[in-house]
Amino acid sequence: MISKGTQFLLKNKDRYGVWYSTQTTINVLDAFLAAIGNNEAKINNGIRVAEIFAGGQKLKDVMLPPENSLAFPLNIDVPTNSNINRIEIKIVGNQSATMAQVVQTHYVGWRDAEAGGRNENQSRALRLEYDCDKTAAKIAEDVTCKVEAERIGFKGYGMLLAEIGLPPGADVDRAALEKIKEENWNFSRYDVLPDRIIIYLWAQAGGTRINFKFRPRYGINAQTAPSILYDYYNSEAQATVAPLKFSIK
């Protein structure tokens, strides 16, 4: 029962390697500590060995710290390709397993990405449009940009976050944003970061339209960060606009 319970807990971690909330994570770790035996730490002076397999082929042996020891996580790079769809970690001998997590990272070029500025699902439908009157400008020349953010059909209330990408060296006209904030109740607040503007919006029927300006401080040939719109409590469902490329001379 202890073994099956431990497996259940290990399989139900979230993407960050914890259990969704602080209280639940503490309870799970307390359960692991209670389940650890004292006899196994005496085997081979507490030294444990894990065998790492990828696609059925053994890659390496990894020395694990003894049970009950305070050790930092071990990061192990495992090469992957289209032929590898199975990663295995085997503990040598009659010893207990340890917590493990497999994390894969990959990159999709914007040319192949789904970035149409729109997200559709059963509970939320989001739309984001972002464009500027020019992407080729001179240093210190005004660039006017337009943002439209909407929860389509006005399905549900709550706050939306729009992260609007900026090119490097953009000097944003904060006075215009302050005026929009004063005149629009649904424009809650904003933060200007080096590479983006984060806008907090209350959803309203018909969406929200925002115009702002910035001036490039120096010559560049670069892209903005991607622009995204998402629910404050549901960042996974997001509408994405591909980066804009600016040429400033």
Q: What is the pLDDT of residue 42?
A: 47
> What pLDDT digit, counting tens, does each position of 30-44 carry?
888 877 654 444 445
Contact yes or no for 215/143 (Cβ under 8 A)? yes
What domains are there in the chain, each with its CATH number?
A: 2-91 (no CATH), 118-248 (2.60.40.690)
Contact yes or no for 169/163 (Cβ under 8 A)? no
> What pLDDT digit, counting tens, does each position of 15-29 carry?
777 888 888 889 988
pLDDT band at 162 (very low <50, low <70, confident <90, very high): very high
Q: How many CB atoms lie within 10 A of CB 34?
A: 8
C-alpha angle 141-217-131 in degrees, rounded to nearest 5: 55
Structure tokens at 170: 């953009």
How are strands ordered across the β-sheet holding 118-120?
A: 118-120, 125-132, 143-151, 208-216, 170-172
The percent of residues above 90 in pLDDT, for the chain, comes to 35
Q: What is the pLDDT of residue 120?
A: 57
